Structure 1
């Protein structure tokens, strides 16, 4: 996997969307739309940190955009941890929300974290003197009434999400927490507080959501769409179905049900995390989501908290009320006029692959596109194969990752991202001395069932970051290698050359015909934003 220490420094004139700098990771998103401007607040780690507690001594930075393509970053953090060891946020300014107050000015509610107080978490409020939040006063702890706090554990009380509930004419605050009593591993809940003025908050008698199936629901948010349904979105760091998930209901009070959408309510996999949203400026029936894809360090074989922001994503509800996710159309502007026809056979955008009774692979030459950000698109014209898909970072031994499409019904597929080689049972590992690592993600990194691919597949490769969009689902992951380049190394003992190829195809037992195949490159790094 790509190491954060290996990320190259970008040219000084390039503004970064993905992260503040190569040495600092971006984390939890806090977006808000003010008129036609997207304000994307987010957490950022201290430079060159990896683990708790130093990496989580985070601060808030902000990006702004009117088109989701061109971004402007503030020159300094909006909110930073205070220097006093006794300050409530001395060890981290954590996730929260931005909201307009009764006076029309922007307010920020965020979590304060202090290790000297046994890691106590409190909710702080910072105020601005204008609508767009030019400058914020230091945060003060919120005041609340009611007995709800006594029903929760002492430590976990974080990630406030605040919005104005129009039909009740008051503000709601959702807080990620844990019940004080119950089975230890499944006490996670979303607490609810209400206020008319953002000054004093009253606990609801019971948590808004307590499903008895997770440790803590991080970064919750609640919104409604024109279909009248309410959507509770939060992130789970504990399996099963880790990552950003959603539940839906006919009322803002629930009960919030698990979607039968083939993904168990997951919007992606566990590596696209802490995603939050705001309305889309031009279409309030849709929302724009932002989430991060974690860093990985090779020398420790560990995933880290924070990483690079994924491409902004457009989310909407289908006719069953299920959420569907796709890339924002604006991102295509970054790839205009940069086609690479060498990936396909012929000039018509058609590709045929076949293999009877076996699995065949093909690796087209990428040329200059080998070192660029890539956008691969294709439609499935006909599939009479057991499976087919895209090979990613595969060497001559065919060790690498596979994005696999397996027919599962009429016009539907199971889409999976598979890692290198599945680990062996202990008996076989001992017999052949092949003790393969057992990563926390497992062999199937991400899986979506019942996916209709009539709208085609779009696959983005940004150096080591993969983001795939198909049938209203998305798959994100950080692949091996920091630059995503073809690597050629000489094996002097065996007298052979091992090549790592960035992109290819495979087909298993059958024939596949693809149409509208195109590969475009260079866009994401050639414009402001999306650089790594």
Structure 2
């Protein structure tokens, strides 16, 4: 259901476009095998009418040669321009830097059908001399009705200023005809905080405009800013991200009724739990939900959650500590640790439940793919005193470290209030949603089977409405 490129390849940045009832998802394919596929990265096209079933048309915007600007066809945008489609993209070639030439320039291609693209060899848009020439990428083009001109957001860097890690800016370029572009000297957004602002995206919902970009300087997340105007001033809300650092480079598209955010759930080196995170992975859709105050949250798209119709039995097995059951409710907790194992997990499936915490002390959550002795497992853990939702792994890879939380999200839990939890798992992919507002992407590489259960530690929690589901084809 969640899409990853074939063989060893991974999906990197997604460039979403919606037309005629279908999401058309261009994505960067990293082959991960230069010896077989050679160097470079093309754009592939993935189409879906339901966010569940995908058709990969393969490479459509091809990479150039080792001496060409677009050896790596990096992120950009797709627009409709009259009778044709137009892609503005980043031509990236690290070998050119070695020759003193710009590593990145913005290039263009056109098509009549989205499948066959012709590169415009006469169109080359390079950074002006007051910007760093090697970081000029990820164009996002839109038409501004008030200005009566085309606008392009660009991820760039100022040439001067300390610290150098904070020179990242979102730039604005304007054009009357999609061919002649001029970069405005005043940055579109310059918070003096990040190395660069990758994959800019801009959209409007109601009275609010939203600027979305991804940063790897501070938290490695896709973040957003808000404004009443498409040109700012931009304000960062208290919670300004959609997911954690295992969901990156996200951009969005609307089907006219809702807006879907597409990012990639990154893999790890050699696909091991204790290894470093890497670039690219599996495409994940989140549905953006505007809150009453204008801030944004995300939830699981309904058609994705509905893909697990086969309900499996859930029953208490091994228990530890204080555990009681009555009228469909499991009450765990008190001082120390309590747990209740509930059954074997399918390879791909869904867990739904509701929970109510009695206080904001301690922590609690779910154990996933646990072994028989409950010594090895993954834990989706709530820590109300820190407003934190975390993904944890046992046993520890390094017991000398005081914390080894793999992924974390801000997630308040109010004592006495009922909460809804949805967990989707497919192979190594793990997606967690809380109250249709909070999302956390994670990975489970080493353990592919085991039991699930509920636990508490120095707190009391009521768990109810517990459901375990699998896909029909697993029967």
SS in 1 for 2:304: helix
Q: Is the aligned partner of 1:416 residue 2:390?
A: yes
Residues 3 and 54, structure 2, Cα contact 8 Å, conserved in 1: no
Correspondent of 1:67 among 47, 50, 53: 50
Other-structure match for 1:485: 448
Correspondent of 1:402 among 358, 376, 379: 379
Residues 388 and 508, structure 1, Cα contact 8 Å, conserved in 2: yes
Q: Is the aligned partner of 1:245 residue 2:226?
A: no
Residues 344 and 518, structure 1, Cα contact 8 Å, conserved in 2: no
Other-structure match for 1:468: 432
Quote how far apart the aligned CAs of 1:144 are. Answer: 5.7
Correspondent of 1:162 among 121, 137, 141: 141
Other-structure match for 2:188: 208
Task: Please give the TM-score of this superposition, normalised by the length of structure 1.
Answer: 0.78
Q: Is the aligned partner of 1:269 residue 2:270?
A: no
Other-structure match for 2:268: 296
Residues 105 and 125, structure 2, Cα contact 8 Å, conserved in 1: no
Correspondent of 2:7 among 8, 22, 29: 22
Quote how far apart the aligned CAs of 1:405 are. Answer: 2.0
Correspondent of 1:448 among 410, 419, 426: 410
Residues 374 and 520, structure 1, Cα contact 8 Å, conserved in 2: yes
Counterpart-to-counterpart distance in 2, 1:462 and 1:308: 11
Task: Please give the TM-score of this superposition, normalised by the length of structure 2.
Answer: 0.87
Q: Is the aligned partner of 1:88 residue 2:73?
A: no
Other-structure match for 2:321: none
Structure 1 residues 348 and 47 mapped into 2: Cα distance closer, same or farther (>3 Å)? farther
Q: Deviations over 1:452-508 (max 9, x none)?
A: 775611111111111101131100111232xx423xxxxxxxxxxxxxx45322112
Other-structure match for 1:9: none
Of 116-125 and 16-25, more deviation after overlay is shown by 16-25
Gaps of at least 5 residues in structure 2 are 318-323
Q: Deviations over 1:8-66 (max 9, x none)?
A: xxxxxxxx85122031111100001113221111000125369xxx9972111111122
Tell me which of the two structures has the higher relative contact order, counting C-alpha pairs closer than 8 angstroms and 6 or more residues apart.
1
Residues 343 and 518, structure 1, Cα contact 8 Å, conserved in 2: no
Q: Is the aligned partner of 1:458 residue 2:422?
A: yes
* RMSD of equivalent CA atoms: 3.0
Other-structure match for 1:332: 305
Residues 107 and 120, structure 2, Cα contact 8 Å, conserved in 1: yes
Query: Which stretches of structure 1, 4 residues or more, deviate above 6 A after TM superposition?
Result: 344-349, 421-424
SS in 2 for 1:150: coil
Quote how far apart the aligned CAs of 1:104 are. Answer: 3.7
Residues 107 and 124, structure 2, Cα contact 8 Å, conserved in 1: no
Structure 1 residues 444 and 87 mapped into 2: Cα distance closer, same or farther (>3 Å)? closer
Residues 286 and 298, structure 2, Cα contact 8 Å, conserved in 1: yes
Counterpart-to-counterpart distance in 1, 2:136 and 2:419: 42
Quote how far apart the aligned CAs of 1:254 are. Answer: 1.5
Q: Deviations over 1:129-174 (max 9, x none)?
A: 2xx42311024364569xx722211100111111222333322111
Quote how far apart the aligned CAs of 1:316 are. Answer: 2.2
Counterpart-to-counterpart distance in 2, 1:71 and 1:202: 38
Other-structure match for 1:427: none
Structure 1 residues 316 and 436 mapped into 2: Cα distance closer, same or farther (>3 Å)? closer
Other-structure match for 2:340: 362
Please list, as runs of the form range in 1=range in 2, the aligned pairs for 1:95-114 lying within 5 A after superposition: 95-101=75-81, 103-114=82-93
Gaps of at least 5 residues in structure 1 are 1-15, 425-433, 487-500, 528-532
Counterpart-to-counterpart distance in 2, 1:290 and 1:211: 25
Correspondent of 1:221 among 193, 201, 206: 201
